[in-house]
Structure 1
């Protein structure tokens, strides 16, 4: 099983960041790669569409408002992996009320590509996503 993790310190309090990203269907508010999210199964599943019209279906596996994190699994996607499980987490930065650290991590089994290619794919997705989040918060 392959893994990757990207983190970034952002110019906003953990509360502000979590208010923006903590909803399972909030990706459309900060991630340009996902312009559409449809809630299914009472909000436990999200059907995402990317700009190319490709569909990604993800299931919420764990959620903690108090600890500011959620974990989700990919049910259907155009990615060359199986067994994908990912966590998005917001941490306080010690001594800084005006900053937080967001960590996006995932594990998966590559299918039809090397482990390095799959890791590079999700590392890029996570890094670009956190860059987009930074840009939203900095405005």
Structure 2
């Protein structure tokens, strides 16, 4: 099993960040490479489309409003992995209420790819996603 994790300090309070990203169906609000999200099964599954029209289907597997994190599993995607589970988490920064640390992590099994290839793929996705979040918060 391979894994990766990316963190980024963003210019907003943890509560404000969570209100933007904490909804399982909220990716289009801050992630430009996911312009479409359709909730299914009462909001426990999301059907995403990227700009190329590729479909990604993910299931919510854990959600904690108080601790500001959720985890999800990929059910279907154009990625060379299986067993994928990822977590997005918003952390407070001690002594600061005007910034937050956002961590996006995942673990997965390579499928017709090397561990390094899929780790690099998801490290890039998480990094670019957190950069997009930062840009959304400063726009």
Q: TM-score, normalised by structure 2?
A: 0.99
Q: Is 1:15 aligned with 2:15?
A: yes
SS at match of 1:79: coil
1:74-115 Cα distance to aligned partner (Å, 9 max, x none): 000000000000000000000111000000000000011110
SS at match of 2:127: helix
For the aligned residues, what is the CA RMSD? 0.3
Instruction: Structure 1: give runs of 5+ residues left out of the alignment.
Output: none
Which residue number corresponds to residue 3 of structure 2? 3
Q: TM-score, normalised by structure 1?
A: 0.99
Cα distance between partner residues in 2 of 1:28 and 1:35: 5
Cα distance between partner residues in 2 of 1:34 and 1:75: 16
Cα distance between partner residues in 2 of 1:53 and 1:10: 29
Stretches of 4+ moved more than 2 A in 1?
none
Which residue number corresponds to residue 47 of structure 1? 47
Which residue number corresponds to residue 119 of structure 1? 119
Cα distance between partner residues in 2 of 1:97 and 1:41: 36
Q: How many residues align?
A: 139
Cα distance between partner residues in 1 of 2:111 and 2:73: 16
Q: Is 1:105 aligned with 2:105?
A: yes
Q: CA offset at residue 41 of structure 1?
A: 0.3
Instruction: Structure 2: give runs of 5+ residues left out of the alignment.
Output: none
Which residue number corresponds to residue 32 of structure 1? 32
Q: Is 1:60 aligned with 2:60?
A: yes
